[in-house]
Amino acid sequence: LKPLATVPAGEDADAVAYDPLTKRVFVMDADGAAVTAVDAVRNKTLSTTPLKAKPESAVADGAGNLFINGASTREVLRMDTRTLAITARWPVPDCESPHGLAIDTETHRLFVSCRNAKLLVIAGDNGRVVAALPIGKGTDSAAFDPKRKYVFSSNGDGTLSVIAERNADTFVSLGNVPTAPGARTMAVDPATGRVFLVAAGVAKVEPPKAAGRAPHFVFTPGSVKLLILDPRA
């Protein structure tokens, strides 16, 4: 785990995405409303592209497209990973502050988790909303298990929302699994289907800043823990 290089990016790096086609890393700068492209082979910053929206997360389809959540403008952006140009802006007015973003590269469906307790399924070719499903409050991350065809949303209210993809246009909510308050950061192992979430002991709970939002948690120092959820359990 020795650092190989340090490259400049935005001051408020909130998420990173890797495109295997171009071997480029994309860094989301929420406060700067921009995305920085980094050459992962030469460890060199290529450019910073203004978005006119605060990006929360991004995902590449491996075919030359990077999809970006515009949290401040309620839209999903599509970027060409080779030219670094924005090629589409798709409004999602029913999605308050889109945060999590995942993709099924086989069906080319995007999964956008929203702060108003819903998840939108969007067609990756034209931005059409395919479905809208309920999730927990305070989502911050979305993920997809390509083997078992599960969509996940990790939520600050202490739940993991699970959605089953039956086919490209049919999605079914399987409900919420209890996790821990504030466990919003997530990763999925595609081989085993295990879901990993980070949580910590809660020292204080502050009320939500707006309707539909999760409470704000102040965590106890030194109490970080890793939650592992197994679909076979």
pLDDT averaged over the chain?
A: 94
Domain assignment present for 187: no
Domain span holding position 174: 13-181
> What is the C-alpha to C-alpha distance for residues 204 and 164, in angstroms, rounded to an integer?
34
Q: Of all residues in the chain, what percent carry a pLDDT higher than 70? A: 97
Q: Give the residue from 118, 111, 124, 69 showing the smallest Cα distance to 95.
A: 118
Q: Say if 227 falls within a structural domain.
A: no
The 10s digit of each residue's pLDDT in 182-208 is: 899 999 999 999 999 999 988 888 887
Asked whether residue 157 is assigned to any structural domain, the reply reads yes
Q: For residue 189, how far is the Cα from the chain centroid?
A: 15
pLDDT for residue 133 is more than 80: yes
Name residue, tokens 């085993």: 192
CATH number, domain containing residue 60: 2.130.10.10
230 is a domain residue? no
What's the rounded Cα separation, in Å, for the pair 205 and 40? 40
pLDDT value of residue 139: 95
Q: How many structural domains are present in the chain?
A: 1
- The predicted structure's pLDDT at residue 211: 65
The pLDDT-based confidence of 222 (bands split at 50, 70, 90) is very high
Q: Is a pLDDT exceeding 60 seen at residue 24?
A: yes
Please provide the DSSP assignment of 71-121 as one string.
TTTTEEEEEETTT--EEEEEE-TTSSS--EEEEETTTTEEEEEETTTEEEE
What are the residues facing 161 on neighbouring strands? 153, 176
How far, CA to CA in Å, does 146 sit from each of 106, 181, 186? Answer: 8, 27, 16
Confidence of residue 171 (pLDDT cuts 50, 70, 90): very high
**Which DSSP state fits 129?**
E
Share of the chain above pLDDT 90, in %: 84
Residue 11 confidence (pLDDT): 81
pLDDT (mean) for 40-48: 95
**Does residue 77 lie within any of the structural domains?**
yes
- Contact between residue 122 and residue 142 where contact means Cβ atoms under 8 Å apart: no
Collapsed DSSP state (helix, strand, coil) of residue 11:
coil
User: 18: phi > 0 → left, psi -120 to 50 → alpha, else beta; which?
Assistant: beta
In a domain, 207, yes or no: no
Per residue in 80-103, pLDDT tens?
999 999 999 999 999 999 999 999
Per-residue CA distances from 127 to 13, 73, 88, 142, 207 (Å)? 26, 15, 9, 18, 35
Q: Is position 18 within any domain?
A: yes
How many C-alpha atoms does 199 have within 13 Å on its Cβ side?
22
Task: Report if residue 162 sits inside a domain.
Answer: yes
Alpha-carbon radius of gyration of the chain = 17
